[in-house]
Structure 1
Amino acid sequence: MQFIASTVSLTVDDVAASQEFFTTYLGYTVQRAADGFASLSRDDAVDIVLLARGIEVLPPEQRDQRAGGLILAFTLAGGLAEHEKRLREAGAQITMPLRQEPWGEALFQVTDPNGVIVQFVEWVTPEHP
């Protein structure tokens, strides 16, 4: 088995709002879009497909579900504090301010208009290994 791409599919109430969030704040580009659907990509991250809740392409048991309890996490190579500041100043909803965990994980979270949680992580030397 050889994978050629990775995609996460998120079912949301307002595809346009999430599409705007990911393109404006996170630098994604729209590859394809239609009513109730958008395919987004970046060269350096997982692709994202947004589907409208209730869309008939989903099996009936999945149509009313929405992205919940999911954290979409991106690991950065540095500059975490600067990214948090940039997103805050741009108007993104910071739902977990920048913090550092004792095991060496520095992180913060933003939330898109549909409640999709996006976490940014940078691994640093722990204060107390």
Structure 2
Amino acid sequence: MQFTASTLSLTVDDVAASQAFFTTHLGYTVQQAADGFASLTRPDAVDVVLLVRGIEVLPPEQRDRHADGLILAFTLDSGLDEQEKRLRDAGVQITLPLRQEPWGERLFQVTDPNGVIIQFVEWVAPEHH
């Protein structure tokens, strides 16, 4: 088996708001869009499909779920500080300030208008105690 792409499907209340957030702040482009649906892509990350909560294309037990408890994480090879500043300067609320974990993970989080948590990560040498 060989995968040709990876896509994360998120059920949200306001597709347009998340679509605008992903295209404006995260560099995604719209592949396709219709009422209650948007397919977003960028060449270096997982594709994202946004579905409006309650959409009938989903099985009944999935229609009212919300993208909750999920963290969409993007690993950067460098420039984490610059990305945090860029987003902050653009008015995006930083919901978890930039920090470094003892195991070498530097990270910060933002949250889109539908509550989707987006985490940016950069790996550095772990702290030695």
Aligned residues: 129
SS of match in other structure, 2:61 = helix
> Which residue of 1 is the match for residue 80 of structure 2?
80
TM-superposition CA deviations, 1:5-63 (whole Å, max 9, x none)? 00000000000000000000000000000000000000000000000000000000000
Task: Tell me the distance in 2 between the aligned counterparts of 1:93 and 1:67.
Answer: 19
CA RMSD, Structure 1 to Structure 2 (Å):
0.7
SS of match in other structure, 1:30 = strand
> Which residue of 1 is the match for residue 25 of structure 2?
25
The amino acid that maps onto 1:25 is H
Aligned-pair identity in percent equals 82
Task: Tell me the distance in 2 between the aligned counterparts of 1:124 and 1:81.
Answer: 13
The amino acid that maps onto 1:81 is D
> Which residue of 1 is the match for residue 99 of structure 2?
99
> Which residue of 2 is the match for residue 122 of structure 1?
122
Runs (4+) off by over 6 Å:
none
TM-superposition CA deviations, 1:81-125 (whole Å, max 9, x none)? 110000000011210010000000000000000000000000000
Task: Tell me the distance in 2 between the aligned counterparts of 1:4 and 1:70.
Answer: 23
TM-score, scaled to structure 1:
0.99
Task: Tell me the distance in 1 between the aligned counterparts of 2:128 and 2:85.
Answer: 27
* Cα deviation, residue 126, structure 1: 1.2
| Structure 2, gaps ≥5 residues long | none
The amino acid that maps onto 2:115 is G
* Cα deviation, residue 127, structure 1: 1.7
| Structure 1, gaps ≥5 residues long | none
